[in-house]
């Protein structure tokens, strides 16, 4: 790495975020959905960096963004984001006071948030809100009857009921359950319309839900698929590519004799004269620390994958590169991206790609690539 690289003064590890791929994925999702897209940028844009991702998506024409929590919305506002921001999750009553000052649109999904929003709306700026009906997730949201009454109470309090929504529990696994949820949602929206209230934004579809869009819907809110990772096993037929690649440069390659134990606990033992590569990525950075990683996990270095050797450490991971003379100090080791994919890593770790993406540690610098070159680096340790 040259001394004038924006990464030169940082550890030889990075998450490359391809902004061109992000833009192409947004276009593909928008074209497939045929509806306005509200990108979900919660959890630091699934580990990709919320501020830069939000700006890139707004440049592509995203009309609004979604976050999970009020503080995420406040942070985006403080970074200069001006499009509408919808807060998907619940919030304590104390946070209702900051909704209007930061122009945040809450999802009202509990009796407590309903009361808090109404209380803070009196005598203040006009608020917008969406109301959530629980159609089978069993998490947040009102019953159908309570959903209708909550929406009407908001309207009576002078709050604009901008949207109605639900959350799909099994869109990536069970089409039948998903269809029944959407039937309940359609029924709830129809009952609300029967009381004279028709919110303009009707949305249910997350990434997997894009395969189940109903004519009644006027908005979709994808997350995972925008970052180039499709839900499994059911996935919408949309061509997307991974936006993030997590990699590091090999720190050391050493020759070890038969019987050498590697890493904590000595659980990996060389069965032959071996070559061991030490990679400056550990479990604090997003490498899963599980026995399955030792038994099944791999990095891609050069033309092929190499297996993990020994227990993953907090800061370092070892790989068995025996028989690979092309791998030397400084070779790039890819944990996930195109190959291995986030889903490959999730399978080895016994988890999901959502967790893999959001587990990339904050000390890993995010290097944003556009037009084939690094245009911006974000790091908690300033280069």
Annotated catalytic residues are 42, 264
- Please count the CA atoms within 13 angstroms of the CA of 227 that sit on its side-chain side: 31
The CA distances from residue 372 to 67, 212, 265, in Å, are 29, 35, 42
252-256 sheet: strands from edge to edge: 252-256, 274-279, 317-320
What are the Cα distances from residue 285, in Å, to 19, 51, 88, 288, 361?
Answer: 21, 20, 27, 9, 4
Adjacency order of strands within the sheet including 366-370: 304-307, 298-301, 332-336, 244-249, 13-18, 366-370, 373-378
Contact 119, 108 (CB under 8 A): no
Q: What one-character DSSP code corresponds to residue 93?
A: G
CB 231 within 8 A of CB 208: yes
Contact 167, 133 (CB under 8 A): no
Whole-angstrom Cα Rg for the chain: 24
Contact 22, 249 (CB under 8 A): no
Beta partners for residue 333, in sequence order: 248, 301
Q: Which residue has the tokens 């025996």?
A: 322
CA atoms of 104 and 110, how far apart (whole Å): 17
b/e sequence 46-83, b meaning 16+ C-beta within 10 Å: bbbbbbbbbbbbbebebebbbbbbbebbbbbbeeebee
Euclidean distance between CA atoms 291 and 374, whole angstroms = 35
């Amino acid at each position: 790495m040259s001394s004038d690289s924006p990464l030169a003064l940082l550890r030889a590890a990075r998450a490359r975020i391809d902004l061109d791929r992000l833009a192409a994925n947004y276009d593909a999702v928008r074209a497939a959905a045929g509806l306005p897209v509200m990108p979900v940028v919660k959890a630091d844009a699934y580990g990709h960096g919320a501020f830069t991702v939000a700006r890139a998506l707004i440049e592509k024409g995203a009309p609004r963004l979604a976050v999970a929590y009020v503080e995420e919305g406040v942070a985006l506002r403080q970074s200069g984001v001006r499009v509408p921001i919808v807060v998907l999750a619940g919030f304590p009553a104390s946070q209702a006071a900051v909704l209007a000052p930061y122009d945040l649109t809450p999802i009202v999904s509990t009796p407590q948030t309903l009361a808090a929003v109404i209380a803070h709306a009196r005598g203040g700026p006009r608020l917008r809100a969406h109301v959530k009906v629980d159609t089978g997730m069993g998490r947040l949201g009102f019953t159908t009857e309570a959903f209708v009454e909550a929406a009407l109470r908001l309207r009576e309090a002078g709050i604009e009921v901008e949207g109605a929504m639900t959350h799909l529990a099994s869109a990536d696994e069970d089409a039948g359950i998903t269809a029944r949820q959407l039937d309940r949602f359609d029924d709830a929206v129809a009952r609300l319309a029967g009381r004279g209230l028709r919110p303009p934004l009707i949305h249910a579809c997350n990434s997997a839900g894009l395969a189940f869009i109903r004519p009644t819907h006027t908005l979709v809110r994808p997350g995972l698929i925008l970052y180039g990772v499709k839900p499994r096993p059911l996935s919408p037929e949309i061509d997307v590519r991974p936006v993030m690649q997590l990699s590091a440069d090999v720190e050391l390659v050493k020759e070890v004799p038969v019987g050498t134990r590697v890493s904590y606990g000595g659980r990996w033992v060389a069965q032959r004269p071996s070559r061991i590569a030490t990679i400056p990525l550990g479990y604090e950075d997003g490498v899963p620390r599980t026995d399955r990683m030792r038994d099944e996990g791999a990095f891609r270095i050069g033309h092929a994958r190499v297996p993990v050797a020994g227990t993953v450490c907090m800061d370092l991971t070892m790989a068995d590169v025996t028989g690979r003379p092309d791998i030397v100090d400084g070779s790039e080791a890819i944990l996930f991206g195109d190959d291995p994919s986030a889903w490959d890593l999730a399978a080895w770790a016994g988890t999901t790609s959502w967790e893999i993406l959001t587990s990339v540690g904050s000390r890993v610098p995010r290097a944003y690539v556009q037009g084939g070159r690094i245009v911006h680096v974000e790091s908690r340790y300033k280069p």
